[in-house]
């Protein structure tokens, strides 16, 4: 089947990854369906799709990961060739405040969609959004597919459950189901609650005189940061292979939060150290100090590697926030 005849169904289509993935699939001729939760803030739901100018090209359908019946109905109506499960309660800090909800949405939600596929359209190809947070208290300096997991938050534990359920459905029911173990990936579409966007937004506000300081937690934590545009390309590539498999998607480079702040502020001619205030309320109960991915398998099997540098990405985010705030 050519891409021009394919149908894709994306949960979490209104998030950063969902929006960029939808844009990519549309460019390849897919018919794209995306699930949205009923919400009283409906007018802000599709803001990222509008930013990319694709909202009118997508079919939005009502549903919820915690409601199996809605997922069965969507699978029956859409009959997708590819299913991308990107929806989750994905903010680590919130997962400590709402651990049960995080388990229900992020963990059980993936099982609900796998079960809907098994019951209705078992030949659909399934992508599960796994995360580097599953490595948590790292057991190896470079984390790869065979590195043992050690989750350090309710979010990471829920994602690990979803990851293993994906493997179980693949092995038990011969389904095409795979997971992308994605390291941190950012963009101008990142939510303000995530540290990179919090930093770029604050830098611009300080430059414009709208804010005087930036309050952060552990700025010595190290992360492997890539661009969401690069990472959604990896998701698509995983579902185009002869056999399903799991892949670490990362840049292979780690940077401290402190250095990331310097890149953002320097782009505006500011010194980050003059504005950063360390605030204990932003420290996690169990900190993940270092994450550094080894994408060798993805490069060998998928021909994938990150193209956009951290510096280029942070500058793009700063420029986008300047455009928004001006």
Quick one: average pLDDT of 153-164? 95
pLDDT at position 135 over 90: yes
pLDDT at 94: 80
H or E element at residue 256:
strand 255-256
pLDDT at 42: 60
- 40 pLDDT band (50/70/90 cuts)? low
Q: What is the pTM of this model?
A: 0.94
**DSSP state at residue 134:** G
32-46, 62-76, 190-204: least confidently modelled range? 32-46
Q: What percent of the chain is predicted at pLDDT more than 70?
A: 97
Provide the residue ranges of all domains of the chain, joining segments of one domain with +.
3-185+225-249, 191-223+254-290+308-325
How is 4-61 classified by DSSP, letter by letter? Answer: GG-EEEEETTTSHHHHHHHHHHHHTT-EEEEEE---TTHHHHTHHHHHTT-GGGSEEE
Quick one: average pLDDT of 57-80? 97
| CA–CA dist 167, 170 (Å, integer) | 5
pLDDT at 44: 66
Catalytic residues: 131, 133, 155
The fold for domain 191-223+254-290+308-325 equals UDP-galactose 4-epimerase; domain 1 (3.90.25)
Q: Does domain 3-185+225-249 have CATH number 3.40.50.12140?
A: no
Quick one: average pLDDT of 207-220? 96
Nearest to 160 by CA among 152, 18, 138, 116: 152
- 193 pLDDT band (50/70/90 cuts)? confident
């Amino acid at each position: 089947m050519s891409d021009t005849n394919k149908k894709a169904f994306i949960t979490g289509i209104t998030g950063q990854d969902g929006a960029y993935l939808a844009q990519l699939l549309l460019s390849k001729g897919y018919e794209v369906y995306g699930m949205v939760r009923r919400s009283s803030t409906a007018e802000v739901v599709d803001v990222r799709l509008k930013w990319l100018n694709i909202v009118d090209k997508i079919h939005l359908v009502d549903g919820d990961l915690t409601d199996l019946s809605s997922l069965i109905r969507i699978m029956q109506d859409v009959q997708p060739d590819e299913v991308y499960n990107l929806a989750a309660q994905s903010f680590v800090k919130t997962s400590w405040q709402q651990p049960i909800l995080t388990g229900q949405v992020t963990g059980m939600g993936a099982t609900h969609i796998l079960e809907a596929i098994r019951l209705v359209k078992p030949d659909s190809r399934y992508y599960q959004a796994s995360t580097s947070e599953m490595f948590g208290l790292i057991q190896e300096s470079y984390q790869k597919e065979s590195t043992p997991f050690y989750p350090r938050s309710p979010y990471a534990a829920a994602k690990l459950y979803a990851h293993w359920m994906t493997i179980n459905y693949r092995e038990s029911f011969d389904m095409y189901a795979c997971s992308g173990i994605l390291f941190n990936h950012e963009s101008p579409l990142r939510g303000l609650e995530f540290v990179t966007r919090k930093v770029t937004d604050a830098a611009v506000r300080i430059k414009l005189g709208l804010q005087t300081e930036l309050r952060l937690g552990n700025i010595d934590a190290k992360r492997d940061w890539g661009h969401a545009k690069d990472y959604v390309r990896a998701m698509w590539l995983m579902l185009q292979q002869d056999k399903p498999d799991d892949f670490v998607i990362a840049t292979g480079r780690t940077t401290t939060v402190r250095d990331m702040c310097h890149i953002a502020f320097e782009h505006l001619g500011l010194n980050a150290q003059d504005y950063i205030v360390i605030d204990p309320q932003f420290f996690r109960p169990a900190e993940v100090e270092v994450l550094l991915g080894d994408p060798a398998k993805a490069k060998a099997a998928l021909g994938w590697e990150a193209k956009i540098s951290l510096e280029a990405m942070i500058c793009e985010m700063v420029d986008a926030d300047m455009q928004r705030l001006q």
